[in-house]
Chain A
Amino acid sequence: MPFRDIPTPRIRAWLLAVLVTAGSRADAIELRQVAEGIYVHQGMHELPDARNHGDIANIGFIVGSRCVAVVDSGGSPAQGRELKAALRRQTPLPVCYVINTHVHPDHLCGNRAFREPGVVFVGHHKLAQAMALRAPFYLERAQRELDNGLTREDFIPPDQAVSEKLELDLGNRRLILTAHGPAHTDSDLSIFDDRTQTLWLGDLLFEWHVPVIDGSLSGWLRELEQLRLVKAKRAIPGHGPVTGAWPAAAEAEIRYLSRLRQDVRELIQAGKTLEQALAVAGVAARDDWRLFDEFHRRNVSKSFAELEWEEP
């Protein structure tokens, strides 16, 4: 959404603060406590590059009375270390879990900073395969474009896989993890914090940053229909600010995905080609999102291939 549409002065002020700190990138990463014991670092709305060190996704941690669960570890090994240092400034409690919300490298390349005895890595039951499958591809890209020192050892597959639901206890704090069907990717995991009724969605939810389809457009809309029913006080997106209430926070994304699906379906029915669809489908939403030019056409491409074989 455009800046002028940001609802309250408080959020506007906070946003400005974020923009200012992002501009003067400090050594330590900025954290914000969005609910009691839940700390989030908001990434920049950029493509990963050598300058921003992959600091483009929302990452953070949840503190219980016994231990801490890290939720996504960052876009580079360095950011994983920065997150660990920031965590240490907030709590002396040990890290017991590292939860990876999905396979994308802007969320899990900091994993290795947290690997030590007693730390359990948790992910979707398809995450290990997805990681094994994509790591070579991500490494090659990191070497070519990012120069962030990423190695194969930074891809740490889950010790504990979630096939449907899993509960984790951090001490007086219960996290309920849900493994989703193909949506943003085929390894999406969401986390519900019972204590503060917070829904940490990873990249199942994009705010501002245009949603990126790397799983299934129709699958994603199906998962969002289910997630909308969750009674949560707030949701944490994988990209963009933690803003309004749930499920209101999902409206823009649902609108984008629905419109894209409608446009692509109509183009396919009218016998149009992929090239024609790339030029027109969903472009009306261009002013509503950041990084639209970087990702939208790929979304059209994925959607076209998916919907072309959709049963009527």
Chain B
Amino acid sequence: MRYRFALFRTSLLWAMILACGVALASGEEESAWNGGLKQKYFGDKAIEESNAVIELTAPYRAEDPALVPVSVTAKIPQTADRYIKTITLVIDNNPTPFAAAFHFTADSGKADVAMRLRVNSYTHLRAIAETSDGKLTMSKAFVKASGGCSAPIGADIEAAMARLGKMKFKLDGDKLALQQPNLTQLLISHPNITGMQMDQISRLIKPAHFVQEVKVSFNGKPVLTAQTDIAVSADPNFRFYFIPQQPGELKAEIKDNTGLAFAYAQAVTP
């Protein structure tokens, strides 16, 4: 009986995957984007397609669809006159196409950001930069992957839940370089359950449980803030830059969709 119930649940999953299969047939076309996604996220605003402001890098074939390394490189410096305010990542054929939005300031140093994403089918991946002058510029890449969102939760979900909310920062070279952009990694332990994965014990689809908001500050001043969704891989990992004027404390504050909030601070010195 239990298995029959599981089969019913499976058929739901199956339907979702089939839906992805339909999207997949559109191949490298722009139908999902032009057919609604662009309008949904950016309204009628013009978006220039170019790698002059940012450039998106993603593997053409994803070895592991649940863990696709994606990076956005800024092509313009962050200056008070003109800087990148927001970078939004959209994965056309994912069940939830919105992956994340990162907000920078003129003091961010360099509006680079890197992370790992779940990619559910052959799809375009887009990074859209909004500069301080209000203009939108898009860089895109095509990724061949399948099943990233429904990929099984890690083999050891109990261990993952036990360290839920644990965080760490890693500085390039383990020390701070003053008055220049510092490449920084934020590691967050969170299973980021998509809601498309099945709980190994109850065989029910586990409700979505994922990090929704990330705030990083240095000595109380915002460095990077982000809204994130289920496309961000389990144990989210973000790389970004900040410019410290003196030694101090890096702090991360996160919230997930169930209302849980976690904070972590780490002293960093040259």
A-side residues, CB < 8 A to B, are 126, 128-130, 132-137, 139-141, 143-144, 152, 157, 182, 186, 215-216, 219, 271, 273-275, 278, 297-298, 301-302, 305-306, 308-309
B1 to chain A, nearest CB (A): 13
Q: Among B6, B16, B71, B233, which residue has its beta carbon within 8 angstroms of that of A132?
A: B6
Given A274-B116, A298-B63, A309-B163, check contact A157 B152 (CB 8 Å): no
Q: Among A143, A152, A216, A273, which residue has its beta carbon within 8 angstroms of that of B21?
A: A143
- Docked-complex contact A305 and B17, CB < 8 angstroms: no
State in angstroms the CA–CA spacing of A219 and B155 once bound together.
Answer: 10
Given A137-B146, A140-B20, check contact A305 B234 (CB 8 Å): yes
Given A128-B3, A308-B235, A309-B189, check contact A136 B24 (CB 8 Å): no
Report B-chain residues with C-beta under 8 Å of the C-beta of A297: 63
State in angstroms the CA–CA spacing of A126 and B114 once bound together.
Answer: 35
* Residue of A129, A141, A306 contacting most chain B CB atoms (<10 Å): A129
Q: Say if the beta carbon of B200 comes within 8 Å of chain A.
A: yes
Contact code string B4-28 (vs A, CB < 8 Å = 1, else 0):
0011011001101110110010000
Known: A274-B67, A308-B237; 7 extra A-B contacts, CB below 8 A, are A128-B3, A132-B198, A134-B152, A140-B146, A144-B146, A271-B170, A305-B116
Q: Which of B208-237 contact A (CB under 8 A)?
A: 233-235, 237
Q: How many A-B residue pairs have CB under 8 A?
A: 105
**Nearest neighbor of A301 in chain B, beta-carbon distance:** B64
- Docked-complex contact B152 and A308, CB < 8 angstroms: no
Complex A-B: 6 CB contacts under 8 Å: A133-B200, A137-B17, A139-B14, A186-B152, A186-B200, A275-B69
B interface residues, tally (CB under 8 Å)? 47
Report B-chain residues with C-beta under 8 Å of the C-beta of A137: 17, 146-147, 150-151
Report A-chain residues with C-beta under 8 Å of the C-beta of B10: 132-133, 135-136, 152
Contact code string B144-179 (vs A, CB < 8 Å = 1, else 0):
001100111011100000010010001111100000
State in angstroms the CA–CA spacing of A135 and B71 once bound together.
Answer: 32
B34 to chain A, nearest CB (A): 24
- Docked-complex contact B150 and A136, CB < 8 angstroms: yes
B185 to chain A, nearest CB (A): 7
* Residue of B7, B63, B114, B185 contacting most chain A CB atoms (<10 Å): B63
Closest 9 CB pairs of A and B: A182-B155, A298-B63, A136-B14, A301-B64, A137-B147, A297-B63, A132-B6, A186-B155, A136-B17
- Docked-complex contact A132 and B21, CB < 8 angstroms: no
B172 to chain A, nearest CB (A): 6
**Nearest neighbor of A141 in chain B, beta-carbon distance:** B146
Q: Among A128, A271, A305, which residue has its beta carbon within 8 angstroms of that of B6?
A: A128
A40 to chain B, nearest CB (A): 28
Q: Say if the beta carbon of B101 comes within 8 Å of chain A.
A: no
Q: Which of B1-60 contact A (CB under 8 A)?
A: 3, 6-7, 9-10, 13-14, 16-18, 20-21, 24
Q: Among A132, A136, A152, which residue has its beta carbon within 8 angstroms of that of B203?
A: A132
Given A139-B14, A309-B163, check contact A132 B69 (CB 8 Å): no
Report B-chain residues with C-beta under 8 Å of the C-beta of A301: 63-64, 67
- Docked-complex contact A309 and B170, CB < 8 angstroms: no
Report A-chain residues with C-beta under 8 Å of the C-beta of B155: 182, 186, 215-216, 219
State in angstroms the CA–CA spacing of A207 and B147 once bound together.
Answer: 28
Report B-chain residues with C-beta under 8 Å of the C-beta of A143: 21
State in angstroms the CA–CA spacing of A129 and B157 once bound together.
Answer: 14
Q: Say if the beta carbon of B187 comes within 8 Å of chain A.
A: yes
Report B-chain residues with C-beta under 8 Å of the C-beta of A152: 7, 10, 14
- Docked-complex contact A298 and B198, CB < 8 angstroms: no
- Docked-complex contact B14 and A182, CB < 8 angstroms: no
Q: Among A135, A273, A306, which residue has its beta carbon within 8 angstroms of that of B239?
A: A273
State in angstroms the CA–CA spacing of A128 and B200 once bound together.
Answer: 9
**Nearest neighbor of A140 in chain B, beta-carbon distance:** B17
State in angstroms the CA–CA spacing of A17 and B171 once bound together.
Answer: 56
State in angstroms the CA–CA spacing of A136 and B146 once bound together.
Answer: 11
Q: Say if the beta carbon of B197 comes within 8 Å of chain A.
A: yes
A266 to chain B, nearest CB (A): 14
Report A-chain residues with C-beta under 8 Å of the C-beta of B14: 135-136, 139, 152
A163 to chain B, nearest CB (A): 13
B240 to chain A, nearest CB (A): 12
B155 to chain A, nearest CB (A): 4
- Docked-complex contact A271 and B173, CB < 8 angstroms: yes
State in angstroms the CA–CA spacing of A29 and B150 once bound together.
Answer: 34
Report A-chain residues with C-beta under 8 Å of the C-beta of B151: 137
B75 to chain A, nearest CB (A): 19
- Docked-complex contact B71 and A129, CB < 8 angstroms: no
**Nearest neighbor of B20 in chain A, beta-carbon distance:** A140
State in angstroms the CA–CA spacing of A129 and B155 once bound together.
Answer: 12
Report B-chain residues with C-beta under 8 Å of the C-beta of A132: 3, 6-7, 9-10, 198, 203
- Docked-complex contact B156 and A216, CB < 8 angstroms: yes
Report A-chain residues with C-beta under 8 Å of the C-beta of B13: 133, 136
Report A-chain residues with C-beta under 8 Å of the C-beta of B116: 274, 305
State in angstroms the CA–CA spacing of A306 and B13 once bound together.
Answer: 26
Report A-chain residues with C-beta under 8 Å of the C-beta of B16: 136
Given A140-B147, A157-B3, check contact A133 B69 (CB 8 Å): no
**Nearest neighbor of A103 in chain B, beta-carbon distance:** B152
B175 to chain A, nearest CB (A): 11
